[in-house]
Amino acid sequence: MSKQPTEEKIRAHTFDGIQEYDKSLPNWWLFTLYATIVFAVAYWVYYQKADIGMTQEQELEAALAQVDEAVAKAKAEAGVLDNDTFAVMAKDAGIVSAGETVYKQTCASCHGQNLEGGIGLPLNDAEWKHGSEPLAMKKIVEEGVAAAGMPPWGPVLGDQKVNQVVAFLVSKQVK
């Protein structure tokens, strides 16, 4: 059996002696076109109209926050202590609860159970008289403030417990 050659339709018009075949577009091409249109409309609704997806700025901020947290966590694991490390430690429930326990045993008698103050200054506000940055807090707890009557707790508690107390105080700071 031999196939009969099919006659191709030629359009009736001619331009500069050129004639065109009257062929329809391939199905794969039409499918790609329609899929692209559907995707574009869905993308537009998702990001522009429904406000479901994050904007590029929000995605960047989230990614940078993850990087900052990973860097601070790596510093904490390496033993480097800075303000960012204490911020990460303040988010760790285990460290904060250990710091709260140490605080209640050693600090609450002067600064109050809820950091409201008493004999000592209140610790539940954002500004401290001797510095409210985590490293300044650590220095205050370790070395004390003789003029204010606060004893140095560094030799008594040790470095780990001082760090836990500072992480607890950072977690309770009003921003």
Q: Which DSSP string corresponds to 57-114?
A: HHHHHHHHHHHHHHHHHHHHHHT---HHHHHHHTT-HHHHHHHHHHHHHHTHHHH-TT
List, for residues 114-170, the tens digit of each pLDDT value: 888 778 777 777 777 777 788 888 888 888 888 878 888 888 888 888 888 888 888
pLDDT > 80? residue 6: no
Quote the pLDDT of residue 35. 98
Which backbone phi and psi does 127 adopt, to 5 degrees?
A: -110, 130
User: What is the spatial distance between Cα 103 and Cα 141, in angstroms, rounded to a whole number?
Assistant: 11
Strands 10-15 and 18-21: antiparallel
Tell whether 71 and 92 lie within a shared domain: yes
Instruction: Determine the structural domain holding residue 23 and report its residue range.
Output: 10-49
Quote the pLDDT of residue 171. 83
Of residues 20 and 84, the one with the higher pLDDT is 20
Count of structural domains within the chain: 2
Tell whether 21 and 85 lie within a shared domain: no
- Read off the tokens for 166: 């500072």
Residue 144 neighbours by CB under 8 Å, 6+ apart: 150, 151, 152, 153
Task: Give the three-class secondary structure for 14.
Answer: strand
Tell whether 88 and 29 lie within a shared domain: no
Tell whether 162 and 80 lie within a shared domain: yes
**Residue 15 pLDDT level (bands cut at 50, 70, 90):** confident
pLDDT > 70? residue 70: yes
2 domain residue, yes or no: no
Give the pLDDT mean for 83-109: 84
pLDDT > 70? residue 3: no
Task: Give the three-class secondary structure for 174.
Answer: coil
Query: What residue has token string 């560094």?
Result: 154
